[in-house]
Amino acid sequence: MTDQTSNVTEVKAESRIFPPPAPFAASATISGMDAYYALCKQAEDDYEGFWANLARENLHWHKPFTKTLDESTAPLYKWFEDGLLNVSYNCLDVNLQKGHGDKVAVIFEADGGEVTKVTYKELHHKVCQFANGLKSLGVGKGDRVVIYMPMSVEGVVAMQACARIGATHSVVFGGFSAKSLQERIVDVGAVAVITADEQVRGGKHLPLKAIVDEALALGDCEKVRNVVIYKRTGGAINVLEGRDIWMHDLVANQSDVCEPEWVSAEHPLFILYTSGSTGKPKGVQHSSGGYLLWAILTMKWTFDIKPADVFWCTADIGWVTGHTYITYGPLAVGATEIVFEGVPTFPNAGRFWNMIEKHKATIFYTAPTAIRSLIKAADADANVHPSKYDLSSLRLLGSVGEPINPEAWMWYYNNIGRGNCPIVDTFWQTETGGHMMTPLPGATPLVPGSCTLPLPGIMAAIVDETGHDLPNGQGGILVVKRPWPSMIRTIWGDEERFKKSYFPEEFGGKVYLAGDGAIRNKDTGYFTITGRIDDVLNVSGHRMGTMEIESALVANPLVAEAAVVGKPDDTTGEAICAFVVLKRSRPTGDEAKQIATELRNWVAKEIGPIAKPKEIRFGDNLPKTRSGKIMRRLLRVLAKGETITQDISTLENPAILEQLKQPL
């Protein structure tokens, strides 16, 4: 834990309260606060019984489980372990059995605007054929498959096909570099990579297959036997005989029947890499049964999903939001969902509003960064202002990935929801598998900027550094006191790191440490997230470890030392600011600018464009204590452009602060 730790005693008072609209509450799955409290009480009175009933009611079990929760190996908790099921069966076959075969599962809109609709029957067909194709390559239960694909029906199919045959997928976001991709391929031990020739975003073509080739050429990827390529654009690529195969060739003669592989509820459905405060990104391992259960329940509780809804989550399948609220949750509840290939600003910043109007979306779930940038765009150009579009189909809005500032919340509420749509500000993490704290749209009175209360069954609390509960009104460390079904199971290949990161001994080894600070309102008990308490940044809702960026910088031959901190940013929430010491003398003027550009591009190549520092400053040294520790809290103040008022008596080289004060 860093010196950012949460001695917050108040957050700016927010007195606006928005009760759920009466018509919404009347038909909601959880209608009114009494219904919410009743569910919470059920969980408190009989924790295992609560989850067992929900798991029986909401999942199709090939073989029922007999034990709900096994705590004997805590914190390696096991849920419904002796039950057998298949996630893809639950998402597809179950819907066919219910007679929803002809219902549209996916409305896909390509970057250029072309629309393709896929019914549940068609999706089932595609998944089974592709699953059989993977089997023909020898991929099977227990194998790991890396997916590096654009937003596409085929991306969803690839993930579902892995689930169908019991292979564990690891999706790598298409914006990561060859090096990041290679590190993940190696760490997870992938036997196959599924990719596309190119990805198209904002009218630009990006060469995914070429990046896969580059990643595999970096070495240590001998386990990869095949690369499967989805033809998205027909752009020129190298096809390596014997290793590479086109997706359309692979499925050409495959049967559309594929008996699912029945797996234990604990079987790893996927591994998704995310950043921590130290070391390389960690492979967060999720289960099959508990994970899917929570995906389904949160679709019902948080999103109040109904058969006629058109659900749109704008996340990428490369992030956990895309896993839970694109590939699995919406399909498992038989919803119609929109999958979008492009970006919110192409061909113009009215794209989201245009798509809501065109497809009559009823539930819209996006990130505060997108909202903030679209506010700016709407202010600058009346033609892309949401008032120009018919958004009357909307009934519910959602926010995810980072704190939503009250101003952005109000704009979203008034301009997109037209004052009629509740906003669910969902707090959760890659590790939690699904929502943890969020308003319930038919029950919870909303307060801008607060994720309000934990979902039923989620025992969230705020504690001090010694693990003791803090009273409302006092900021502290966010923890979850009991295991829950969709929680992270382990860090792939590193159980020790899993225990240390999430269940530290200081708190008794059985309490989940979220890594965020939080505070509860004195009167309402509502939670507000006050930010990470470790060295993790949140840039545009993307999670980045400062250490990762520092390592990338020091790998450059010019760089001797680097320290990275976050600074508040109007659009991206946080921005990356790097303080760099070169091996040569400190550059100034144009030369400094030129080297900064070089280093920013270097980081893009090492990690991916999302990790590019927004700002780089050069110094002869970094502010250090006498024992040589970099004083990051001072760098954070400098990055913000504020004056240092803290005690600097332990600082070895105070003069350096003056040098680092000025942006280039």
Strands 310-313 and 336-340: parallel
Cβ nearer to ligand PRX, comparing 263 with 317: 317
Give the residue nearest to ligand PRX (CB). 430
Cβ nearer to ligand PRX, comparing 197 with 425: 425
Cβ nearer to ligand PRX, comparing 374 with 400: 400
List, in order, residues 6 or more apart from 230 with CB less than 8 Å away. Answer: 149, 152, 154, 158, 194, 195, 196, 197, 246, 247
Sign of CA dihedral 541, 546, 547, 548: positive
Cβ nearer to ligand PRX, comparing 427 with 579: 427
Do residues 447 and 431 make contact, with C-beta atoms less than 8 angstroms apart? no
The one among 212, 529, 539, 580 contacting ligand PRX by CB under 6 A: 529
The one among 320, 335, 491, 656 contacting ligand PRX by CB under 6 A: 320
Q: Distances in Å between the alpha carbon of 439 and those of 136, 169, 527, 594?
A: 46, 31, 10, 47
3-state secondary structure 258-300: CCCCCEECCCCCEEEEECCCCCCCEEEEECCHHHHHHHHHHHH
Cβ nearer to ligand PRX, comparing 489 with 543: 543
Q: Is 532 in the site for ligand PRX (CB under 6 A)?
A: yes
559 is in an annotated binding site: yes
Contact track, ligand PRX, 262-291, x by CB under 6 A? ------------x-----------------
402 is in an annotated binding site: yes
CA 29 to chain centre: 25
List strands edge to edge, sheet with 476-480: 460-463, 476-480, 512-520, 527-532
List, in order, residues 6 or more apart from 434 with CB less than 8 Å away. Answer: 291, 294, 295, 297, 298, 324, 329, 428, 486
Pairwise CA distance, residues 105 & 307, whole Å: 11
573 is in an annotated binding site: no
Strand partners, 462: 478
The one among 36, 130, 230, 428 contacting ligand PRX by CB under 6 A: 428
Cβ nearer to ligand PRX, comparing 412 with 427: 427
Checking phi first, is residue 419 left (phi over 0); if not, alpha (psi -120 to 50) or beta?
left
Pairwise CA distance, residues 167 & 309, whole Å: 31
Cβ nearer to ligand PRX, comparing 402 with 535: 402
Output the smallest distance, CB 609 to ligand PRX, in A: 17
Q: Distances in Å between the alpha carbon of 238 and those of 178, 194, 387, 535?
A: 16, 15, 47, 40
Q: Is 302 in the site for ligand PRX (CB under 6 A)?
A: no
The one among 182, 415, 430, 501 contacting ligand PRX by CB under 6 A: 430
Do residues 470 and 476 make contact, with C-beta atoms less than 8 angstroms apart? yes
Count of positions on this chain that bind ligand PRX (CB under 6 A): 20
Tokens (6 digits) for 649: 């008596």
The one among 515, 608, 619, 623 contacting ligand PRX by CB under 6 A: 515
What string of DSSP letters covers 436-473? Answer: SB---TTTPPB-TT--BSBPTT--EEEE-TTS-B--TT
Q: Which window, 11-19, 189-197, 380-388, 425-433, contacts ligand PRX (CB under 6 A)?
A: 425-433
Q: Is 451 in the site for ligand PRX (CB under 6 A)?
A: yes
540 is in an annotated binding site: yes
Cβ nearer to ligand PRX, comparing 176 with 427: 427
Cβ nearer to ligand PRX, comparing 4 with 336: 4
CA atoms within 13 A on the CB side of 397: 30
Output the smallest distance, CB 59 to ligand PRX, in A: 22
Q: Is 400 in the site for ligand PRX (CB under 6 A)?
A: yes
- Looking at residue 2, the DSSP 8-state letter turns out to be -
554 is in an annotated binding site: yes
Which string of b and e fits 169-181 if b means at least 16 CB within 10 Å? Answer: bbbbbbbbbbbbb
79 is in an annotated binding site: no
Pairwise CA distance, residues 240 & 256, whole Å: 27
Pairwise CA distance, residues 472 & 33, whole Å: 20
204 is in an annotated binding site: yes
Q: Is 321 in the site for ligand PRX (CB under 6 A)?
A: yes
Tokens (6 digits) for 400: 């995810």
Q: Is 426 in the site for ligand PRX (CB under 6 A)?
A: yes
Q: Is 403 in the site for ligand PRX (CB under 6 A)?
A: yes
Cβ nearer to ligand PRX, comparing 182 with 274: 274
Output the smallest distance, CB 427 to ligand PRX, in A: 4
61 is in an annotated binding site: no
Is 103 buried (19+), middle (13-18) or exposed (0-12) by CB count in 10 A? middle
- Residues 541 to 570: which contact ligand PRX by CB under 6 A? 543
Q: Which window, 235-243, 401-409, 581-589, 608-616, contacts ligand PRX (CB under 6 A)?
A: 401-409
Output the smallest distance, CB 112 to ligand PRX, in A: 28
Pairwise CA distance, residues 543 & 607, whole Å: 12
268 is in an annotated binding site: no
Q: Is 401 in the site for ligand PRX (CB under 6 A)?
A: yes
Strands 204-206 and 199-201: antiparallel
Cβ nearer to ligand PRX, comparing 199 with 298: 298
> Looking at the chain, how many residues does it have?
664
Pairwise CA distance, residues 642 & 459, whole Å: 38
431 is in an annotated binding site: no
427 is in an annotated binding site: yes
Q: Is 173 in the site for ligand PRX (CB under 6 A)?
A: no
Q: Is 538 in the site for ligand PRX (CB under 6 A)?
A: yes
Q: Is 429 in the site for ligand PRX (CB under 6 A)?
A: yes
Q: Which window, 48-56, 67-75, 200-208, 421-429, contacts ligand PRX (CB under 6 A)?
A: 421-429
Cβ nearer to ligand PRX, comparing 288 with 399: 399
Binding site for ligand PRX (CB under 6 A): 274, 320-321, 400-403, 425-430, 451, 515-516, 529, 532, 538, 543
Binding residue ranges for Mg(2+) = 554, 559
Binding residue ranges = 201-204, 321, 401-403, 425-430, 516, 532, 540, 543, 554, 559
Binding residue ranges for ATP = 401-403, 425-430, 516, 532, 543
